[in-house]
Amino acid sequence: MSTSLDPSRLEDAEAAEAADPGGMLRQVASSAAQVREARRAAAEAGIAGLAEDGRPRAIVIAGMGGSGISGDALAAVCGEGCAVPISTVRGYRLPGWVGAADLVIAVSCSGTTEETLEVAAEAARRGCRLLAVGGAGSPLADLAGRSRGLFVPVRSAGQPRSTLWGLTIPLILAARELRLADVSDAVLESTAALLEDVAHRCRPSSEPFVNPAKRIALDLAGDVPLVWGSSAVASAAAYRLCCQLNENAKYPAVFGEVPEADHNQVMAFDGSFARAASPADPDDFFRDRAEEPEHGLHLVMMRDVEEHPQVRKRCGASAAAARDRGVAVSEIRAEGDHPLERIASLIALADYVTVYLAIALGVDPTPVPAIEELKARIA
């Protein structure tokens, strides 16, 4: 992978944009606009009416890929103290316990995702309350209409994975109407402003030594990332980073969360992918590197403002243990106070990292040929 690495592709806006013919950078930069547009679309669709039937027993989000991430984001924003359980279904089947007392939210940017349509249809048959979020005029919109469900139309930013906030904000607003999330209009606007700020810092014209996303992308190139989250907010962002590395950069990544990763993944630091020839002296500049692996592990810590005290200690200890064994460590820290601001800041920077890594490696971030091939094979 490193043989195709060309950092010069990130040195100026013209070079970066030339290597991004599908315009993924522009799609990522639309995140703030998505927040504002989705807020209007949800209001116009009548999201306030969700509260008329009272609070559901549980909320189940049906979605695949970037649409499924919206469910993770909703659960993270509502928090562990949420009065009802929130879970995401990534597949064809609705859990057996889901029934008329529950709210099922079907999310599909295109409105044609077969797994999501199957789950939504099953929810309708069981008499569940149904909210659908996705493409206007789609099979999902039609299903919601036939099932007396609420439908919120979403305009794609170009690719489903880059329409995350258009898909997520209607879910956040639904939770607000059900009094499960304290997200004011001011928080929505401050989140949009934060997304604009990250976009400015990570803009294509910003050089790698001052652009945090370009810098992290170049640090990751050639390594196998272990991406760990330190809270529900950070873990949702960590999983998103792994998925975006897969789709945008066509690059492998391993997701983990602390403290669980300290009970299994941490042992990879002692394996063949750790760079240090001698754990006792990994910082010896004059050691023989000839026998060290060209590529190694890279621990990416997604850190939150609010962390359990023991998790905070574990994150520090894990990073120290990694460095002692020659494993590179990068850290991405959340910004803002509200959970929505924090998860948005982490995801925004992570999205830029994955696009810049693709560009640096000479990979077009937009097309997903393997996914299209799989769809054709099962059609």
Q: What is the pLDDT of residues 177-236, one digit of tens each?
A: 999 999 999 999 999 999 999 999 999 999 999 999 999 999 999 999 999 999 999 999
**β-strand partners of 329:** 299
Longest dimension (CA), the chain: 71
State the chain's mean pLDDT as an integer.
Answer: 93
**Peptide bond preceding 259: is omega within 30 degrees of 0, i.e. cis?**
yes
How distant, in Å, are the alpha carbons of 29, 120, 193, 358 from that of 204? 10, 40, 19, 13
pLDDT at 259 over 80: yes
Other Cβ atoms closer than 10 A to 313: 13
Q: For 18-76, what is each residue's pLDDT tens digit?
A: 999 999 999 999 999 999 999 999 999 999 999 998 999 999 999 999 999 999 999 99
pLDDT at 292 over 60: no
- Which parts of the chain fold into alpha helices (H)? 13-18, 24-28, 31-45, 66-78, 114-125, 139-146, 164-177, 185-201, 212-220, 232-249, 309-324, 339-360, 369-378
What are φ and ψ of residue 224, in 5° steps?
-100, 110
How distant, in Å, are the alpha carbons of 269, 276, 285, 311, 318 from that of 282? 13, 5, 8, 26, 16
pTM for this model (two decimals)? 0.93
Structure tokens given for 293:
């692996």
Give kind and range of the element (H or E) at residue 131: strand 129-134
